[in-house]
Amino acid sequence: MSPLWPIRILFLLLCTAGGYAVSQVRPEYIGEQHGQILGMIIGFGFGGLLIAVDEMLKGFSLRAFSATTFGLLLGSVVALIVDHSGLFDNAEENVRWLIRLCLFLSFGYIGMVLAMRSNKEDFSLIIPYVRFSPQNRPENLLLLDTSVIIDGRIADLIDAKFVEGLVVVPRFVLLELQQIADSADDIKRARGRRGFEMLNRLQHNNKIEVRIHDGDFPEEKGVDAKLVRLARNLNAKLFTNDFNLAKVAGLQSVSCVNLNEIGQLMKAAMIPGETVQLKIVREGRDKGQGIGYLPDGTMVIVNNGQPHIGQGVNAHVISTVQTGAGVIVFAEIRNELADKPAA
């Protein structure tokens, strides 16, 4: 039930009481016989008519009303100017009123239609130095999933003003985060608590607003399906670290940002022939290979690196391969010399 209906019912009662009062104070307006009942019916009907008009104008905005009024006034002024221009002075009096009616109806209608179709820039041409502030401006909605909240990099991006908008956190994401925080596994419990810390940090950030969305889709199985549907309904941009979720969202024409992909793009490019320092931590899949990692997490496959497992080496970059998970660097130890033993 609309919250306006109690007000409408009260308005109907007041109109009915007003009709009864008029029948008592001015019975000649309604009639002596059955005047009280007739006055109440007239008052009730008048109130019902106004409520019906209100219901029909439900989708009529204040901007549309203002534009229509302005267009009608402008059209009436033009019609008045044309009427007093002397073009129809020779017309007979019984025809003159018909011409005047047609002028006001025609120019009034044209003025209303043009005003309704116009935008704020068109108004500024008619009324110089007048600017209308935008109404119902669409918000830039940022829908966060559980992985992004736990990751925490979204808070750093907001602090750096790389990401701006209204952050939306669904209620079912909070429930999933709570289940992770209540897990018996120590690692999962720590991840869940970190997620709540990140949410608290976002809520206390003055640069952005955070809203909890209570919408749910019980017919959808899984949080990922609910996130994609909610993002589509809200026309929001979905932020995630889940590669599969990003692909599913893309297939359903949902705007999605994978922070892992952004992180990979922000890494410095490795040029063949460049020398990198790293520690060989384990053997590779092929014979003689060793595997190490750069400080940013990039995996480096080092030819002839197996003998140097546990040691720091200087490796020369041979090539790089871009994969869905990031960049893999292939390198080799040309001098077969380990710089220093592992710390």
Please report the DSSP string for 47-66 in residue order: HHHHHHHHHHTTT--HHHHH
Residue ranges, comma separated, of all CATH 3.40.50.1010 domains in the chain are: 141-264
Name the nearest CA neighbour of 293 among 237, 331, 239, 240. Answer: 331
> What does the pLDDT look like over 80-126, one tens digit per residue?
888 888 777 777 776 677 777 777 778 777 877 777 666 544 444 44
224-228, long-range: CB < 8 A, 24+ apart: 224/145, 224/248, 226/170, 226/172, 227/143, 227/145, 227/170, 227/173, 228/252, 228/254
Sorted by sequence, the CB contacts under 8 Å of residue 325 that are 6+ apart come out as 243
The predicted pLDDT at position 127 comes to 46
The predicted pLDDT at position 133 comes to 47
Six-digit token string for 154: 């979204």
Tell me whether strands 311-323 and 338-341 are parallel, antiparallel or unpaired.
Answer: antiparallel
Name the nearest CA neighbour of 130 among 118, 112, 140. Answer: 118
The predicted pLDDT at position 143 comes to 92
Q: Please report, for residues 48, 52, 60, the alpha-carbon distance to residue 9 in angstroms, rounded to integers and kept in the order given.
A: 9, 12, 22
Give me the residues paired with residue 212 across strands: 169
Positions of the chain with pLDDT under 70: 1-4, 26-35, 56-64, 94-95, 116-139, 264-268, 324-326, 335-343
Question: Phi and psi for 87 in degrees, rounded to 5?
Answer: -70, -30
The predicted pLDDT at position 267 comes to 67
The predicted pLDDT at position 320 comes to 83
Residue ranges, comma separated, of all CATH 2.40.50.140 domains in the chain are: 269-341
Q: CB neighbours (10 Å) of residue 282?
A: 12
CATH code of the domain made up of 141-264: 3.40.50.1010
- The pTM assigned to this predicted structure is 0.46
CATH code of the domain made up of 269-341: 2.40.50.140
